[in-house]
Amino acid sequence: MARLGLLHGCILATLLVAALCLSPGAKPSSASGGAEARCEVCQDFLERFYSSLKKNHSDFSMASIEEELIKTCMEAKGKEHRLCYYLGATEDAAAKILTEVSRPMSGHVPAAKICEKLKKVDLQICELKH
């Protein structure tokens, strides 16, 4: 009879752990490569932006990158517009951190690395999800 009680306790403990792991509030760990670790909106947007720069412009100066980023952000919608706001590429933005994008991009640094550094400046940038 004591073994049955112990077995019942183990089953309940296992179910409790499983329920906690599967609850809606559970977040993926960064080691698992979840979207939270990836900065998905930032990375996707900057990868597309970099591709358009390579295709349409030969000048990779900081000034031309900032100018094109502002133009691109004028057409951005939804989460990408919010990202542009955080970067300071919209008219109503309070802070301007465009150089945090233009400087590394002028040196052809990958978008993922740029977003990693941006996360250190403003955590909200990596909280944006599609």
Here the tokens at position 25 are: 């509030």
Task: Please check whether residue 81 lies inside any domain of the structure.
Answer: yes
Is 0.85 surpassed by the pTM of this model? no
Q: Any alpha helices (H) in 1-130, and if so which ranges?
A: 2-22, 35-38, 40-56, 62-75, 78-87, 99-106, 111-121, 124-127
Task: Please check whether residue 62 lies inside any domain of the structure.
Answer: yes
CA–CA dist 63, 45 (Å, integer): 19
Count up the domains in the chain and report the number.
1
- Please name the amino acid found at residue 16: L
Task: Please check whether residue 114 lies inside any domain of the structure.
Answer: yes
Task: Please check whether residue 40 lies inside any domain of the structure.
Answer: no
Per-residue pLDDT of the chain (130 residues; tens, 9 = 90+): 555 555 455 554 444 444 444 444 444 444 444 444 689 999 999 999 999 999 997 789 999 999 999 999 999 999 999 999 999 999 999 999 999 999 999 999 999 999 999 999 999 999 999 9
Looking up residue 77, the CATH number of its domain turns out to be 1.10.225.10
CA–CA dist 103, 91 (Å, integer): 21
Task: Please check whether residue 100 lies inside any domain of the structure.
Answer: yes
Task: Please check whether residue 45 lies inside any domain of the structure.
Answer: no
Here the tokens at position 49 are: 């932006």
Structural domain of 88:
58-127
Task: Please check whether residue 87 lies inside any domain of the structure.
Answer: yes
Task: Please check whether residue 5 lies inside any domain of the structure.
Answer: no
